[in-house]
Chain A
Amino acid sequence: MTDDRGAGRRSSTATLTQARDDARSRADTAVEAMPYLPPASSPYTPADVDPSTLVWAETVAGPGYTHMTVARGTRIRLEDVTGDACAHVVVLSALNPGERLNVADTQKIPWQAYLGAGHPLLSGDGRVLATVVADAAGGHHDAFCGVTTIAGNIERYGAGAAHTATAAGRELLLLAAAKEGLTPRDVPPSVSFFKGVRVAPDGALEWTGDGGAGATVDLVAEMPLTVLVANAAHPLDPAEGYRTGPVRVHAWAAAASSASDPWWTATPERTRAYLNTQQHLLARGIR
């Protein structure tokens, strides 16, 4: 980011005492994009969530990225605060990062290309990594286009490096992956929330816009899960300039999907995917 709010020279830092006092005086600065610690102290705790159950609360800058490894049963809500954000997400098994999001299977197994409530995010190993359990973004999501690249953003906006105001989504995903001990090999195709694309009869990828300010999507981790999020403009966003806004993240201890959830039995393919997941964890002693 080129706009580092709350930063800059404030007072004399000529001596160690002055420098230490100056550094410490900065801590109380509140800005739009920052984590809330402990998570229960989040000023934006969703009304339907008991603050004491929160395990992760953060506002992610746009452009910016975040990442977390969460327990099975964690429910993660992403919010497009202003209607201008796009959350590009990769999920990987925290038990074995070789098992990670497989976008092709995520579209093929449910016989459905468009993400919405109840859609499973599948690995290439026949299991469900996470489920989209709620969609308050009107289906404005995309699994076709992935993230922008540094070369593409240089061409379109003049810059694409992670430290610029027009950062490429891929640069941010690579950083998120690195912080989780992962490498570029571990960043497969991603899914994008809050910005929609549809396929026309001739195959053309058509922009359908956003779900508006305050749009949310909820994911439930079906296994111990590493989550990578890049908040960056969508590759097909027709906006004149680089369009971005903050993404708010709240995650809390909830429950993994069970046979009583409608998406478990929505189609026979999904039922078998949940059964495979359940057995995989059962064998490991993970309930």
Chain B
Amino acid sequence: MTVTWATYEAEYFDRSEPYVQGAIVLDQEIAPRAGWSAPIRAGHVLTLVDVGGNQSGDCLIYDASDHDVRYSAQATLAAQRNAYLVDGSVLRDQEGAALMTVVGNEVERQDTIGGACSKESNTLRYGHHTLFHHACRENFLLEGAKHGLGPRDLVSNINWFMNVPVEADGTLGIVDGMSAPGKRVALRAERDVLVVISNCPQVNNPCNDFNPTPLRVIVTDPAVAA
């Protein structure tokens, strides 16, 4: 059976608006299943909109001037002593310094434990018939290659709008999301950074509600009036 996933338009889509007002620096849509990347200047705010609801946006962050300095899920979680990202969470590099800060968040909690889907891990989780399903790791590799990044530059990422609870006995996994059309997360760059996002193509678990939909990225400069 062939299933067509990409829903480019639907009545329930909500493209929302920037979380933090300011001059629009960039306003782009990440098509379902596609990769995206852009440098974000210090002080600018990136608003990511979950246009169709419960659409995972897998995200990596690098220091724009030195890509060896990159997001560290472990440094971020250890510093805040909590396994979930929420409003106010500081997204840190491997040395513990701030790359970006969550300055707005409209879902209960955000994930940085679950990692990115890959063709290879799909074979483990869902069986070898899923090897040729497109995956976030493919998007990271192709989008990263534009900036000189390769497999050695991929680390544990953030999954905006994805829900990964950890139960008392350590059981963890991806369950139905807590997001909805138009929900946003907003990130302020604490220095010049490179942000890479994969609009997750996964159709074997609920991270995209089994229906990949668009993400909207809006970057504003709060220092300049809209």
> Which chain A residues lie closer than 8 Å to B14 at the CB level?
none
Pair A272/B171 contact, Cβ less than 8 Å: no
Given contacts A170-B94, A205-B82, contact A126 B150 (CB under 8 A): no
Pair A203/B84 contact, Cβ less than 8 Å: yes
Pair B114/A144 contact, Cβ less than 8 Å: no
- Write out, one digit per residue, whether chain B residues 161-194 have a CB within 8 A of any chain A CB (1) or not (0): 0000010111111100000000000000000000
Within 8 A of A (CB), among B38-86: 68, 72-75, 77-79, 81-84
Pair B72/A146 contact, Cβ less than 8 Å: yes
Within 8 Å of chain A (Cβ to Cβ): is B145?
A: no
Pair B78/A235 contact, Cβ less than 8 Å: yes
> Which chain B residues lie closer than 8 Å to A146 at the CB level?
72, 74-75, 78
> Which chain A residues lie closer than 8 Å to B78 at the CB level?
144-146, 205, 235-236
Within 8 A of A (CB), among B77-131: 77-79, 81-84, 94-97, 109, 113-116, 118-121, 123-125, 127-128
Most B CB atoms within 10 A — which of A147, A188, A204, A273? A188
- A151→B172 CA distance, assembly (Å): 31
Pair A185/B95 contact, Cβ less than 8 Å: no
Number of A-B contacts (CB under 8 A): 140
Within 8 Å of chain B (Cβ to Cβ): is A103?
A: yes
Pair A98/B150 contact, Cβ less than 8 Å: yes
Say which residue of B82, B114, B120, B171 sits within 8 Å of A125 (CB atoms).
B120
> Which chain B residues lie closer than 8 Å to A109 at the CB level?
121, 124-125
- A149→B84 CA distance, assembly (Å): 21
> Which chain A residues lie closer than 8 Å to B109 at the CB level?
203
Say which residue of B68, B96, B156 sits within 8 Å of A185 (CB atoms).
B68
Pair B173/A111 contact, Cβ less than 8 Å: yes
Pair B121/A199 contact, Cβ less than 8 Å: no
**Shortest beta-carbon distance from A287 to chain B in Å:** 22
Most B CB atoms within 10 A — which of A111, A185, A187? A185
> Which chain B residues lie closer than 8 Å to A269 at the CB level?
124-125
> Which chain B residues lie closer than 8 Å to A108 at the CB level?
113-115, 121, 125, 172-174
> Which chain B residues lie closer than 8 Å to A124 at the CB level?
118, 120-121, 137, 151, 154
Within 8 A of A (CB), among B19-51: none
Given contacts A103-B156, A188-B155, contact A145 B172 (CB under 8 A): no
- A138→B174 CA distance, assembly (Å): 27
Pair B96/A149 contact, Cβ less than 8 Å: yes
Say which residue of B77, B83, B115 sits within 8 Å of A105 (CB atoms).
B115
Which B residue sits closest to A274, measured CB to CB? B124
**Shortest beta-carbon distance from A69 to chain B in Å:** 17
Pair B81/A205 contact, Cβ less than 8 Å: yes
> Which chain A residues lie closer than 8 Å to B168 at the CB level?
201
> Which chain B residues lie closer than 8 Å to A111 at the CB level?
171-173
**Shortest beta-carbon distance from B137 to chain A in Å:** 7
Which B residue sits closest to A190, measured CB to CB? B74
> Which chain B residues lie closer than 8 Å to A242 at the CB level?
none
Say which residue of B72, B123, B156 sits within 8 Å of A126 (CB atoms).
B123
- Interface set of A (CB-CB < 8 Å, partner B): 97-100, 102-105, 107-109, 111-114, 122, 124-127, 144-147, 149-152, 170, 183-190, 198-199, 201-205, 235-236, 269-270, 272-273, 276
Which 5 pairs across A and B sit closest by C-beta, in order of nearness? A104-B115, A146-B74, A126-B120, A114-B170, A145-B78
- Interface set of B (CB-CB < 8 Å, partner A): 68, 72-75, 77-79, 81-84, 94-97, 109, 113-116, 118-121, 123-125, 127-128, 137, 150-157, 166, 168-174
